[in-house]
Amino acid sequence: MQLHAAHGYLLSRFLTPYYNRRTDEYGGSTENRARVVVEICRDVKEAVGPDYPVLAKINCDDFMDEGLTFEECKHICRMLEAAGLSAVEISGGSARSRPNEGAIRKVTADTESYFKKYAVELAEKLKIPVICVGGHRNIGKLTDVVNETKFEYFSLCRPFICEPDLINRWASGDTAPAKCISCTKCFGVPTQCIFNEQNQAQ
């Protein structure tokens, strides 16, 4: 299972100084703002046992004034690792992010894997796996990243909304890039894609 602590959702807002103005043990310092996420992680691990994977998605940076910084992200990831987290996925930004920063940015051939630099640095500091996300559309570029880094895992979202069978297509030898054009029309609506008629019909 994955704890979603990114993109401005509830747990992300605990981590972000802009939103978290609490004056109790769940606000103020980085440790306090991360407390609820750490407690949830620890309690879930105790409930499911050591062999069940518990992941977290967290922003490397909120890309906004008074937002979570990468230095804080690194500290929080170390706290979550100590609490028993199995792996961490590094994303970034939210609806309040500065233009063309964060998870909803446009993707070009030159900007694929746009959170890689943050994930690379974090992977050097953690013992648990770091999952790389950020505009992946091309199996060749993913292969290059595997060969250049310590990453064992990647995360994709919008390409699977457009092409649920994408991995099987690539595995069959058709290595053309994902059909997703990063138009972001699938954001904030029931999950569908303009290229996927079957999903639209449902």
The answer on pLDDT for 54 being more than 70 is yes
- Higher pLDDT, residue 76 or 191: 76
Residues labelled catalytic? 9
User: Given pLDDT bands bounded at 50, 70 and 90, which one contains residue 56?
Assistant: very high
Go through the domains of the chain in sequence order and give each one's CATH number. Answer: 2-156 (3.20.20.70)
User: Given pLDDT bands bounded at 50, 70 and 90, which one contains residue 97?
Assistant: confident
pTM: 0.87
Per residue in 69-96, pLDDT (tens digit) is 999 999 999 999 999 999 999 999 987 7
- Higher pLDDT, residue 99 or 202: 99
String of DSSP letters for 100-140: T-STT----TTTSSTTHHHHHHHHTT-SS-EEEES----HH
- Of the listed ranges 6-15, 20-29, 118-127, 180-189, the one predicted with least confidence: 180-189
- 46/54 Cα distance (integer angstroms): 11
